[in-house]
Amino acid sequence: MTDLSTGGMSKYHRLAAQLRRDIDAGAYRPGDQLPSESQLMERFGVSQPTVRAAIGVLRAEGLVEAIHGRGTFVRQRRSAQRISRNRYPHIPGGQLRHEVTYAGRVPPPEDISELMGIRPGEEVIVRRGTLYDDAHKPTGLGASYLPLAIAAVTYLEQPVATPKALPRCVEELTGRRYRTARDRLTARMPTLDEAMTLGIRPGNPVIRVVHAAFDDNDEILEVSESIWAADRVEITDEYHIPQTAAAAFGGKNETDREGSPASSRRQSR
């Protein structure tokens, strides 16, 4: 019998943690059935409510799924997409397919209105779309918000694919260049529409990425919003470290390696 009596967590959390470790270690692989409730009760010396509560934790985390009349199985994990600074995932050996679902004039969400420097309720051009992987499974939702001064009465207001990447289209239409960008990432629970479109199971959050792009004069060109199932993405960021910052960190590290802790030296001054 595996002992769950140690630790400060409740028994069902400790049982969930043990099963999670077993899954991560490959003891139970995707598609495998977990032991029955009675088997888990015997192995861990716990009650049926404890087993059910632990399984409920794993279901909420998206690790397992219960199939009525059959049992509880380890979920098949979809390959994580890598989201990088180019705003869209890079998929080794494949490309995401973008399908435009809407284009027209709408008021953007309040936080995007603020980024665009417009009044709440003021309309902009929005282009919405769904991203599909090679298996034609929806993997992300996207929307690009463009000022009327840029996109009104242009092909960007039509629900058709653009002839090239959207930033290139905006640059050609305006004669302005994308110069700086600001990204904001937040995690939240999905809306009903998002959960249904992306096939997100109950309890699984999404990651919302808001990308604001500015020209040489720090004027807004575009704000894009993308929604990803949090258990299917890996967010990476690569950037250069300024030499002044590297020198500053290096100096501090060298000083700290000389002997006494930095806190002790500060006290002696």
Whether residue 256 is contained in a domain is answered as no
Residues 98 and 231 placed together within one structural domain of the fold: yes
CATH number where 115 lies: 3.40.1410.10
Q: Which of 52, 74, 96 is the last residue in one of the domains? A: 74
CATH number where 39 lies: 1.10.10.10
pLDDT value at position 12?
92
Whether residue 244 is contained in a domain is answered as no
Whether residue 136 is contained in a domain is answered as yes
Residues 53 and 94 placed together within one structural domain of the fold: no
Residues 19 and 148 placed together within one structural domain of the fold: no
pLDDT value at position 232?
77
CB atoms within 10 A of CB 124: 24
For residue 70, give its domain range: 11-74
CB atoms within 10 A of CB 205: 15
Residues 114 and 213 placed together within one structural domain of the fold: yes
pLDDT value at position 250?
60
Residues 27 and 133 placed together within one structural domain of the fold: no
Whether residue 268 is contained in a domain is answered as no
Residues 58 and 89 placed together within one structural domain of the fold: no
Residues 131 and 214 placed together within one structural domain of the fold: yes
Residue in this structure with the two tokens 């991203």, named with its chain if needed: 131
Whether residue 4 is contained in a domain is answered as no
Residues 167 and 103 placed together within one structural domain of the fold: yes
Whether residue 242 is contained in a domain is answered as no
Residues 105 and 66 placed together within one structural domain of the fold: no
Residues 132 and 59 placed together within one structural domain of the fold: no
Domain count within the chain: 2
Length of the chain: 269
Whether residue 240 is contained in a domain is answered as no
pLDDT in tens, the chain (269 residues): 666 665 567 899 999 999 999 988 889 998 999 999 999 999 999 999 999 999 998 887 778 888 888 999 998 765 555 555 454 444 444 467 889 999 999 999 999 999 999 999 999 999 999 988 777 888 899 999 999 999 999 999 999 999 999 999 999 999 999 999 999 999 999 998 999 999 887 678 899 999 999 999 999 999 999 999 887 777 777 777 877 655 665 655 444 444 444 433 334 33
Whether residue 264 is contained in a domain is answered as no
Residues 212 and 118 placed together within one structural domain of the fold: yes
pLDDT value at position 93?
40
Residues 101 and 28 placed together within one structural domain of the fold: no
Quote the CA–CA distance of 81 and 61 in Å, as a whole number: 18
